[in-house]
A and B are shown apart, each in its own frame.
Chain A
Amino acid sequence: MKAFYLVLFAPFVSFALLALWPGLRRSGKPAAWTSIAAVAVSLLSAIALFFQYDGGVHEVRWVWIPLAHFPSLTVGFLVDGLSVVMALVVALVAFAVQVYSLGYMSEEPPASLGRYYTYHSLFTFSMLGLVFANNLLEAYIFWELVGACSYLLIGFWFYKPSAARAALKAFWTTRLGDVGFALGIAVLFAHFGFLSYDKLFALEPSHALFLGLLGVYVGAMGKSAQFPLHIWLPDAMEGPTPVSALIHAATMVAAGVFLMVRLMPALQHTPELLHLVLWIGAITAFLAATMALVERDIKRVLAFSTISQLGYMMAAVGALSAGAAFFHLFTHAFFKALLFLAAGSVIHAMHTNDMFAMGGLARPMRWTMILFLVGALALAGMPPLSGYFSKDEILVATAHAPVPFALLMITVFLTAFYMFRAFFLTFTGEPRNPESHPHESPVVMLWPMGVLAILAAVAGFFGSTVHEMLNHSLGFESLHSGEEHHPAWIPYLGLGLGLLGILVAWMGYARRIFRPERVYAAFYPLAKVLEERYFIDHIFLLLYWLGYNTVATVVGFVDRYIVDGVVNFVTWATFEVGKALRRFHNGVVQDILLGVVVGFLILAFFATGF
């Protein structure tokens, strides 16, 4: 089990090298190879760890802050089924993305490329740290590190105002959730006095546990882009596309789901919270899918789709089916990373994100087309690709709650439709922009996608492995699986709706049997609402103006006239007293000594009282 040290710290070593050795960082390609070598070591160790794994729960811990009235705060790492599988996913996607970036970022100047890989190394380390953390506080630290890396990478092209704004928006929105996380940790610590998972999982149901886990869930909402904190993810597409594939599809946004799965043994004691998670998850899945219907930007379609799929995972968590949630996280990581990389390949060739400016790319970009198709079919839930199995499990798990189940079912149709709308718009028909000369991407970009495509295709068959690994995780032996009843028609209905979605997209965008523009015009107000993303951004803005600005005005007044007043008075008084006192200081040594004598007399007076 010692391999996990290598898994975790190899990226850190590369980050430290790149961060502390400017010469290496600014050299570009060598920096990239350093980072890739580190993540390759990490990946190989993760594979070794996976095969060595003996089904037990291994933990190392050290005392971090010794406390007198509480159990001491510890740090440590937890190697169990969940963290082993998750580490494998993270290392694998990170490796694929870093290799792919060699091609995608080839036009960057060397110093900029080095910076890119520095951030990537730090991100990989932080994400793996989050995976291996054995207590909530440590998880929170890595959680924030991951958020900081996300900020840095979204704003990688910081000279673009939109990228800088998107980075800030992502950071602030997830911060909003993190405040909840921090409060949750504070509640748990204040009430129970410990934060390590094994102790939390042994707790009886209580009010404090509910409040604490609610806080943690709010944090997960921010990171995993749950309604209404999902607004940052579409804008985060301003970052380089490989970043979106790694952070905003496969790993960081899944961290919220991961954390919820990790906390499942504690969450099972809070059915009300799980109910909330289920509803918000279903609503998120549905709303995000509807917003994707009218999006023109290929990456944003994928972003909305990610939000939607995260909604699925959260719904599964809410349905007390950690296995389904984690299995979908597992498959989704591969096919969504693949889709992003394929979209990146298209963008790399076309230098635009607008799907309506593409078209007809199937011929010049045959491989990309095939890879994108594999990802899209997996996402739409077509057997035997991976998405079919994991989505099916979620649908089965949520079948007992009619409304969320219905929302998720409709979303299956919507998902298939918008994915194939994107596919047909991009790859079929005539080129809509005759000035562009698309070309296939270099091999260094294709083969990472190939690896991911194979995994996206076959990952579904590892369902039983993933479930078994999960059952070896900390505290999971106390979980009872929620699969008492599952009507046999659910998989067929899901498959049918998926096929219907593909068919409608084919009719509208490939064969043009009906005109999507007409439908758009007919439902213009509704479409407008979707395009404006349900005005949620505007609502946040309004809240900002009303709430934040009012508070800020009051606070500003207090600060300017009361706090500053006190400060200014103190400086003024000090100055005046000093001016008065310096007259006594005439430089004559006898007079200075007189002060000493007076001091002695005062002390003697207090000592004797005369």
Chain B
Amino acid sequence: MSFRALLFLSAWMFATGIFGVLSRRHVVALLLSIELLFNGVNLALLTFAWAYGALSAASLAFLGIAVTVAEVAVGLAIFLLVVRLTGKAAADELKQLAG
């Protein structure tokens, strides 16, 4: 167990998550990438809690997990609705937000 290695892994997961969020087209893949981002952050938080004894970081991680679950539930529901209404599953084809 190494503090630096865990932080490196956290940064790695976060960066791959960023790549996924920016570059994947499938909406569900975007959601999965967001999970990666969350997981990276959670890992970092718990590492801090473990290394420095910061209980507040652990609390944040705990809350973060629960929020993530809620986010996924709502996100997938939206995805299903979008597919039903438009028949599209690619994020870059949904342009209703264009200014």
Contacts and interface: CB of A to CB of B under 8 A. Distances in A.
Interface of A: 582, 585-590, 592-594, 597
Contacts of B24: 590
Given A594-B22, A597-B18, A588 B96 contact: no
Interface band, chain B: 10 to 19
Nearest to B92: A588
B49 to A, nearest CB: 21
Contacts of A592: 97
Contacts of B22: 590, 593-594, 597
Interface string B26-39: 00001000000000
Given A594-B22, A597-B18, A597-B22, A587 B97 contact: yes
A585 B98 contact: yes
B95 A590 contact: no
Interface in B1-53: 18, 21-24, 30
B63 interface: no
8 contacts: A585-B97, A585-B98, A586-B95, A590-B23, A590-B92, A592-B97, A593-B21, A594-B22
Contact of B98 (A586, A590, A594): A586
A586 B95 CA distance: 7
B87 interface: no
A588 B23 contact: no
A587 B94 CA distance: 7
B21 A590 contact: yes
Given A593-B21, A597-B22, A587 B99 contact: yes
Contacts of A582: 99
Majority secondary structure of chain A interface residues (helix, strand, loop or mixed)? helix
A20 B27 CA distance: 60
Contacts of B98: 585-587
Interface in B50-99: 91-92, 94-99
B99 A588 contact: no
Given A582-B99, A585-B98, A585-B99, A590 B18 contact: no
A587 B96 contact: yes
A140 B97 CA distance: 57
Contacts of A587: 94-99
Contacts of A593: 21-22
A589 B92 CA distance: 7
A554 to B, nearest CB: 44
A586 B98 CA distance: 4
Nearest to A600: B18
Contacts of A589: 30, 91-92, 94, 97
Nearest to A582: B99
Nearest to B98: A587
Contacts of B30: 589-590
Contacts of A597: 18, 22
A589 B82 CA distance: 14
B69 to A, nearest CB: 21
Contacts of B23: 590
B65 to A, nearest CB: 22
A163 B8 CA distance: 86
A534 B21 CA distance: 87
